[in-house]
């Protein structure tokens, strides 16, 4: 087997480089990460790191530390293995391919970096995002149930996960401190650490419970639609369901069009957003919600006939969405967002397109 | 051939916003000094040799470091040199730097944006490898990094005004949509960040154009 | 009255050329307005070559984004002619006909715009090149209004 040349043919003052050696060097880097991950993980699993795994008889040989902590520690070598492994896989995949062939896949001009990826496109519609994620949930009455895009659900999930994981660590530390105390040993450093961890753990639980109460009190919002994807000029039946207890001073339903533009600003990424169209679909006032029940109603959603379709490219997007704003009597207002995908229509806009556009942009009645 | 008089509206809709990133992103505009005069890329590349082949372009956010880096890269390529252009986000990007240094020719130029993101150990390793390979490196950085300074990018109202004067189709919008006072005010509001000022002027141009055309 | 069918030299970029090429593109539709899946028929004339030898010509129909974000590009149709026996058919005069796609449609947004254009790129013997770009409209979408809300 012939090894690639480290230095190629000499041409005047210049020597050619070798793409193969470049890939090899990069591969060495990722291999080092994999090796570090295996070494670290091995020391944890075998107990060489001083962390004891329970014996078959259930005894904890090291005292104090147990396998919960060991599992947490395995996250570090896991990350090294994942990063190093994916890098190695990429090297192997691109090995032997020309620069042009690789560049054709990345289509990167200017500075080369790893950020950015193109959105999945709808078949036959370049630049239009797929709506697979929006049509995989059947509605109870209408054809599809729209997924929610609001940050509050993610915040609740994040808080819950944080509170659970943090308090799991607190429990492990507390067990260790307790075991020491029972043996007549006082580890002041551990106790001081434990005090801080307990304070943060309690804070996390309080925040999570508060948010959970708020979310439960205002209840879930459900939006179903008769068809998807939508097209300009189309009208669709929509079901709005709002749970909770008490009553709402107002429940507002909007159709919005939003633009997103991402720009790499030096070392940071900056994303600009602009809402360029908003139409009031319906506003209800003094909405009572019986305990255990929910407010439910149908509306007609119309997409302006000369409207832009949904668009998504690597750094730019045009997105449609339904926005529900609820104003409870005794709680803060909530905003819930439901994404939509609008495909391009077959024909150009109708003669009334300009009138529809004015109404949409000005937030007029639908 | 002169277009018919009433086609102004139709032609106008194809004329973009001159402050869009298509016209203002790094590499699209000429590299200028603080007074708005063009920087000589060739002279800077010659200076690099005198600095041992490793140097930094320094400057604050939005001062044109990346623009100058890309201009130097273009100038080096026109001289027939092999050039790699890389942007760093974290020390893990050492991998792509290794690839560029070891996969390229000896004596090639490696342009690295956001050098401080690499971190001390990775930066030291990069310099060591560049020395062994005989590769030259030019980096961008906000502050000191142990490399000699090739160019210090500074901003001023004159610089922003000079950039705006070089934007396309100026005859159609200068003093009609955006005037010199607007440019000076944007520089002030952006606290000297030229990139931010250009984004502000983009928004202003867009708002005023739409008002004039009745789509605002 | 409509805009002329002939698109003037348009945006161009000459990389280190001594000659001053100009590309006049003729669109088959007045106003350069097209619908999705409509046929696009293009004829072009290149002058100002100044006797420089052409080694290749690339013709393409692309869309790109413009605005406050990084520029994205999509190639709908691309053709490169570099065989010496084929070059006389495409330079200094040539043409092509393609069917436009369903999307993305041209869009005059506030911070995101989608533009379609015809590009003609001429490569000279000494490796320098010249590109000319001619915008057209696909879809007849009305421009977006002023933003109701801006966040960055």
DSSP B200: H
**In contact, A229 and A343? CB cutoff 8 Å:** yes
Q: C35-76 pLDDT, tens per residue?
A: 999 999 999 999 998 888 899 999 999 999 999 999 999 999
Q: A298-336 pLDDT, tens per residue?
A: 999 999 998 999 999 999 999 999 999 999 888 888 899
Q: C75-89 pLDDT, tens per residue?
A: 999 999 999 999 999
Q: What count of CB pairs under 8 Å joins A to C? A: 136
Q: Determine the Cα–Cα distance for residues B198 and A29; give it in Å rounded to an integer.
A: 40
In a domain, C148, yes or no: no
Q: For chain A, say whether C75 makes contact (Cβ under 8 Å).
A: no
Q: How confident is the model at residue B10 (pLDDT cuts 50, 70, 90)?
A: very low
Report the number of distinct structural domains present in chain C. 1
Q: A54-78 pLDDT, tens per residue?
A: 554 455 555 555 566 666 677 777 8
Provide mean pLDDT across the span A235-248. 91
Per-position DSSP letters for A231-293, written without gaps between them: -TT-EEEEEEEE--SEEEEEEEEEEEEEEEEEEEETTEEEEEEEEEEEEEEEEEEEEEE-TT-
In a domain, C69, yes or no: yes
The pTM assigned to this predicted structure is 0.75
In a domain, C44, yes or no: yes
Max Cα–Cα distance, chain B, nearest Å: 66
Decide: helix, strand or coil at residue A164: helix
In a domain, C1, yes or no: no
In chain B, the percentage of residues whose pLDDT exceeds 70 is 92
**In contact, A301 and A109? CB cutoff 8 Å:** no
Are the Cβ atoms of B62 and A22 closer than 8 angstroms? no
In a domain, C92, yes or no: yes
pLDDT of A25 > 60? The answer is yes
Cβ contacts of B87 on chain A, cutoff 8 Å: 111-113, 264
Backbone angles phi, psi at C130, to 5 degrees: -135, 135
Interface test with B, best of A110, A271, A315 (most B CBs within 10 A): A110
Tokens of A225: 């639609």
In a domain, C95, yes or no: yes
Q: Is A100 exposed, middle or buried (0-12, 13-18, 19+ CB in 10 A)?
A: exposed
User: Which of A119-133, A207-221, B57-71 reaches the highest mean pLDDT?
Assistant: B57-71
Alpha helices, H only, A11-74: 19-46, 67-73
The DSSP element (H or E) to which B100 belongs, if any, is helix B94-103
Q: Determine the Cα–Cα distance for residues A301 and B81; give it in Å rounded to an integer.
A: 60
Q: Please state, as a whole number, how many other Cβ atoms lie within 10 Å of the Cβ of residue B105.
A: 19
Q: Which architecture does CATH list for B41-153?
A: 3-Layer(aba) Sandwich (3.40)
CATH number of the domain that residue C113 is part of: 2.60.40.640
In a domain, C131, yes or no: yes
Backbone angles phi, psi at B168, to 5 degrees: -70, 155
Are the Cβ atoms of B106 and A17 closer than 8 angstroms? yes
Q: Determine the Cα–Cα distance for residues B104 and B110; give it in Å rounded to an integer.
A: 9
Strand-pairing partners, residue A337, are: A323
Domain ranges across chain B: 41-153, 155-210
CA atoms within 13 A on the CB side of B2: 3
Tokens of C40: 């696009």
Q: Is the ipTM of this complex over 0.85?
A: yes
pLDDT of C103 > 90? The answer is yes
Query: Which residues, 6 or more positions from B49, have their beta carbon under 8 angstroms from its beta carbon?
Result: none
Cβ contacts of C11 on chain B, cutoff 8 Å: 168
**Which subunits count as partners of chain A given 3+ CB pairs below 8 Å?**
B, C
Q: Determine the Cα–Cα distance for residues B36 and B28; give it in Å rounded to an integer.
A: 16
Quote the domain boundaries for residue C83.
6-138
Interface test with B, best of A266, A269, A271, A306 (most B CBs within 10 A): A266
What's the distance, Cα to Cα, between the start and end of chain B in Å? 32
């Amino acid at each position: 087997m012939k090894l690639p040349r480290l230095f190629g043919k000499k041409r005047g003052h210049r020597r050619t480089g070798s793409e193969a050696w470049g890939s090899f060097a990069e591969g060495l880097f990722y291999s080092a990460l994999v090796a570090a991950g295996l070494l670290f993980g091995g020391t944890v699993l075998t107990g060489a790191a001083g962390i004891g795994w329970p014996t078959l008889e259930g005894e904890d040989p090291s005292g104090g530390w147990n396998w919960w902590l060991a599992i947490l520690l395995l996250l570090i070598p896991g990350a090294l293995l994942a990063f190093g492994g994916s890098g190695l896989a990429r090297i192997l995949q691109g090995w032997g391919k020309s620069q042009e062939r690789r560049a054709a896949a990345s289509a990167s001009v200017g500075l080369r970096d790893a950020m950015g990826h193109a959105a999945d496109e709808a078949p036959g519609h370049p630049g239009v995002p797929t709506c697979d994620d929006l049509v995989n949930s059947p509605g109870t009455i209408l054809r599809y149930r729209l997924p929610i895009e609001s940050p509050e659900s993610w915040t609740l999930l994040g808080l819950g996960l944080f509170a659970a994981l943090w308090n799991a660590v607190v429990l492990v530390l507390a067990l260790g401190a307790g075991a020491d105390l029972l043996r007549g040993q006082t580890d002041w450093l551990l106790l001081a650490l434990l005090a801080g961890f307990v304070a943060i753990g309690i804070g996390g639980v309080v925040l999570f419970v508060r948010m959970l109460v708020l979310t439960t009190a205002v209840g879930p919002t459900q939006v179903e639609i008769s068809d998807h994807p939508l097209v300009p000029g189309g009208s669709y039946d929509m079901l709005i369901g709002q749970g909770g207890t008490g009553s709402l001073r107002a429940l507002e339903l909007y159709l919005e069009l939003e633009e997103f533009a991402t720009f790499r600003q030096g070392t940071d990424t900056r994303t600009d957003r602009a809402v360029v169209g908003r139409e009031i679909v319906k506003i209800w006032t003094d909405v009572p919600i019986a305990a255990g029940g929910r407010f439910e109603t149908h509306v007609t959603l119309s997409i302006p006939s000369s409207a832009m379709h949904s668009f998504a490219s690597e750094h730019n997007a045009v997105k449609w969405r339904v926005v529900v704003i609820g104003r409870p009597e005794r709680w803060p207002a909530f905003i819930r967002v439901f994404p939509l995908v609008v495909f391009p229509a077959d024909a150009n806009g109708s003669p009334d397109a300009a009138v529809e556009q004015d109404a949409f942009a000005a937030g007029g009645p639908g | 051939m002169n277009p018919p008089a009433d086609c102004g509206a139709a032609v106008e809709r194809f004329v973009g916003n001159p402050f869009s990133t298509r016209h203002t992103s790094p590499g699209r505009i000429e590299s200028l000094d603080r007074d708005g005069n063009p920087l000589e890329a060739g002279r800077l590349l010659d200076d690099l040799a005198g600095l041992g082949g490793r140097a930094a372009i320094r400057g604050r956010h939005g001062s044109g470091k990346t623009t100058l880096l890309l201009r130097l890269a273009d100038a080096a390529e026109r001289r027939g040199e092999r050039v790699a252009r890389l942007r760093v986000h974290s020390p893990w990007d050492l991998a792509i730097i290794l690839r560029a240094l070891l996969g390229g020719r000896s004596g090639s130029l490696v342009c690295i944006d956001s050098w401080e993101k690499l971190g001390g150990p990775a930066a030291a390793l990069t310099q060591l490898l560049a020395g062994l390979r005989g590769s030259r490196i030019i980096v961008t950085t906000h502050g000191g990094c142990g490399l000699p300074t090739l160019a210090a990018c500074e901003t001023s109202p004159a610089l922003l005004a000079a950039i705006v004067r070089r934007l396309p189709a100026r005859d159609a919008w200068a003093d009609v949509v955006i005037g010199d006072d607007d440019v000076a005010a944007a520089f002030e509001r952006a606290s000297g960040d030229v990139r931010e000022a250009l984004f502000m002027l983009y928004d202003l141009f867009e708002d005023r154009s739409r008002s004039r055309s009745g789509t605002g | 009255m409509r805009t002329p069918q002939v698109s003037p030299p348009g945006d161009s970029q000459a990389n280190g050329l001594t000659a001053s090429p100009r590309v006049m593109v003729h669109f088959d539709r007045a106003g350069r307005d097209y619908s999705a899946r409509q046929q696009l028929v293009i004829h072009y004339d290149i002058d100002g070559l100044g006797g420089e030898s052409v080694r290749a010509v690339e013709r393409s129909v692309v869309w790109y984004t413009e605005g406050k974000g990084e520029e994205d590009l999509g190639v709908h149709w691309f053709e490169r002619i570099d065989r010496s026996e084929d070059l006389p058919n495409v330079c200094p005069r040539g043409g092509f006909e393609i069917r436009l796609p369903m999307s993305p449609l041209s869009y005059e947004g506030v911070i995101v715009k989608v533009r379609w254009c015809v590009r003609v790129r001429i490569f000279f013997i000494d490796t320098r090149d010249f590109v000319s770009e001619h915008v057209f409209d696909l879809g007849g979408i009305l421009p977006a209004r002023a933003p109701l809300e801006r966040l960055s």
